[in-house]
Structure 1
Amino acid sequence: MDSSALLRLLRRLLSGGGERGARTIVRFAKHEDGRRFLARLAARRSRSAALRAARPIRVIGGFSLPLRAASLTPLLSYGCMLEEDRSVKISHALPRPSAQSFSKMDIPWGVRRIRAPQAWSRTTGQRVKVGVIDTGVDFSHPDLRHALNRGINLLQRASLPHDDNGHGTHIAGTISAANASRGMIGVAPRTELYPVKAFDTDGSAYVSDIILGIEWCIHHGMDIVNMSFGMPNRSDVLLKAVESAYKAGVLIVASSGNDGRKGRIDYPAGFSHTVAVGALDRRGRIARFTNRSAAIDIFAPGAKVESAWPNGRRRLMSGTSMATSHVTGAVALLLALRPGLSPGRIKDILRRSAKPLGYDKAPQGAGELDVLRLLEIAGESSGGAGGTPGDRSAGSKSL
């Protein structure tokens, strides 16, 4: 591949400053071509205003451009592959969040239901690093200040990843809030949280920002990444990033989505490299809004979950996002005791330890998260994990 010629082509294509609202992700069919080209691009970007519009994404060996794919067909002759840089929405509550909660309950019902408090004499998630790719977090929240590290703001690199939406703060609270005197306690109250702001105030992000968030989490040694968002369409570049995390020993926990679909779940939960999470209500029944299929690995509390909210408040929210944060916290409890577990082993232990759904006509398949069973099975577990990585959403059976 002629890297110099490709750089000249990119300069020409980007000379007009890009197309408003257009974004495309470019990667190379041959990984070595991508590695070499990104090295050349890095050397030239500082001297070319046009090339600075090309954002390197090293975890996939590619880059993103503010141009439509139709404008980039000349790149195909250089061994490039093109994918639209789609917009992704956080898996927001359905319906919208309730009014502020004034509950004085220190331990929310979901944390109690999964039996996390009974495990705190053995593990509280200490030294486990969790990346939360979301809308940021409220750094001043009294329930969260103990757990927060700087993280990164992918939308404004010079700024802290402050939450201007609320969703990320709610997720963080369920994972590791700890304020027993006045506030709430999350599943793993001594977990180290690293907020990764990829989503804007409307709860929207581009696939490229999410991939850059995964890249950051791999590079900074996260043990777990919480991804409480999804999209209905498969993305090859997102799969490549998820695969890279999996190979690096980073577990991704993802929400199945809130459209009430049967037989198909959102991506990235639809990739077998992730832990796919569905939501339960307070009765232990699958919530009506949950997308479900045989690809679901585990169900967890997700209906009317009380957690942290910006400006020191708390709020009730419902969604598979809330269920996902319970699972992330549970895995943090596990990894504090068994830090050497691979993502594949953790997935296997989660599925094997799940409690069968205990109501009439409950669907067969994934069960309910139970922290004590999780730790018990992990203690007994030996050998490798089952499962073949890949796309598991297509053709999955309805539950």
Structure 2
Amino acid sequence: MRNEFTDLSAVRSSRLARSIIAPVHDPEELYRYSDDITVEEDASISLHAATALHSKPSSIQGVPWGVKQIRAPKVWSVSTGHRIKIGVIDTGADYQHPDLRYSLARGINLLNRSLLPHDDNGHGTHIAGTIAAANSTAGMIGVAPRSLIYPVKAFDHNGSAFVSDIVLGIDWCVRNRVDIINMSFGMKTRSKALLDVVNRAYQAGIVIVASSGNDGKRRSIDYPARYQQTISVGATDKNRRIASFSNRGAFVDVYAPGDKIVSSWVQGKHHEMSGTSMATSHVSGAIALLLAKHPGLSPAEIKTLVKRSTVPLRARKTSTAKNKIRGGEIDALKLMQEGGG
């Protein structure tokens, strides 16, 4: 936990509606504040990039394969995601990157509020690039090139964060009225504080897109993607097959390209990464295209449209794969058509 308060005496000034973040040295001290207070350990939370599988410098010019595969370019004559605000809770973003010159708002650095949310890891810049890169001359084009990324730096240079950081990040997104929150991270255990603030964002009309995790599990996904208020995302490869590392099954709402994805990187570079993190950014971009055209849609309506407009996945060459395959891959063109054109 990165302390928001020095002790419990200051908690009443917190702007969080239902969650308080403060160090507690004596649990008995809590009983002075409420009879029904809920206390939980500030658990760690991890990014969903399978860097051990694929992470290497790369180069690109134009439209990456994942953006093409979900047919985003076929929507650009109708919508480019113009003015849709996307909160990316991550490691920050590279504000000097040519791909993102017109794609980044100020955002917030929760680790040092006096500084811009500069990316000292790379993961957040990669996510931002897939969603909103707009460099057709010497870089890449993201799914929704005229959407606006609000980087919310909650993860440090090692890609580490705590639930308290995420709670503060989501709360900031609610107060700043973003349209979509991209959450390319997760943990194995549930958190009431996290669920409360996710529900608050959902009730505020924010679409929450979350990665399912990289454990290759068939019947389980990470939190917060497992919360029903989110759109949970698994990863596919170029053959529209579920990536080997991706969690899958009934808890996954939609799949998207997440294997060997090249996107923007720190120091103005490009990088190839794999993970359900990368898949989630494709889904956030596709939803931005839809919302720019149909701004009145609710999170529940968008989730229904996303699930209804997928294209079938291809089974791997095993005898039982066809019986177990569930869900489909996001298709930006079908999503727009389902939403009313």
TM, length-normalised to structure 1: 0.80
Q: Is the 8 A contact 1:57 1:212 kept in 2?
A: no
2:137 aligns to what?
Answer: 181
Residue 246 of structure 2 is aligned to residue 290 of structure 1 = yes
1:68 shift after superposition: 5.7
TM, length-normalised to structure 2: 0.93
CA displacement 1:58-109 (0-9 Å, x = unmatched):
4442311223685656358633110111111111224255321034x31110
1:291 shift after superposition: 1.2
Among 119, 124, 127, the alignment partner of 1:171 is: 127
Residue 153 of structure 2 is aligned to residue 192 of structure 1 = no
1:261 shift after superposition: 1.4
Among 229, 248, 252, the alignment partner of 2:208 is: 252
Which residue identity lines up with residue 59 of structure 2 in the other structure? F
2:44 aligns to what?
Answer: 87
Q: Is the 8 A contact 2:171 2:197 kept in 1?
A: yes
Structure 2: distance between partners of 1:170 and 1:71: 44
Residue 332 of structure 2 is aligned to residue 376 of structure 1 = no
Root-mean-square deviation (CA, aligned residues, Å) is 2.1
Query: Percent identity, aligned pairs only?
Result: 53
Q: Is the 8 A contact 1:91 1:230 kept in 2?
A: yes
Residue 69 of structure 2 is aligned to residue 113 of structure 1 = yes
Q: Secondary structure at the match of 1:234?
A: coil
Kindly tell me: are residues 262 and 55 of structure 1, through their superposed partners in 2, closer, same or farther at Cα, counting changes over 3 Å? farther
Structure 2: distance between partners of 1:102 and 1:175: 17
1:62 aligns to what?
Answer: 19
CA displacement 1:196-247 (0-9 Å, x = unmatched):
0011111111111111111111111100000000001011111111110111
Q: Is the 8 A contact 2:8 2:22 kept in 1?
A: no
2:257 aligns to what?
Answer: 301
Q: Secondary structure at the match of 1:239?
A: helix
Q: Secondary structure at the match of 2:68?
A: helix
2:176 aligns to what?
Answer: 220
1:254 shift after superposition: 0.2
Q: Secondary structure at the match of 2:300?
A: helix
1:145 aligns to what?
Answer: 101
Q: Is the 8 A contact 2:48 2:277 kept in 1?
A: yes
Structure 1: distance between partners of 2:27 and 2:13: 20
Unaligned runs of 5+ in 2: none
Kindly tell me: are residues 350 and 173 of structure 1, through their superposed partners in 2, closer, same or farther at Cα, counting changes over 3 Å? same
Unaligned runs of 5+ in 1: 1-20, 26-44, 381-399
1:354 aligns to what?
Answer: 310
Residue 113 of structure 2 is aligned to residue 154 of structure 1 = no
2:79 aligns to what?
Answer: 123
Q: Is the 8 A contact 2:89 2:152 kept in 1?
A: yes
> Counterparts of 1:329-340 in structure 2 under 5 Å?
329-340=285-296
Kindly tell me: are residues 230 and 182 of structure 1, through their superposed partners in 2, closer, same or farther at Cα, counting changes over 3 Å? same
Q: State the structure with bigger RCO (CA 8 A, min sep 6), 1 or 2.
A: 2
Q: Is the 8 A contact 1:69 1:82 kept in 2?
A: no
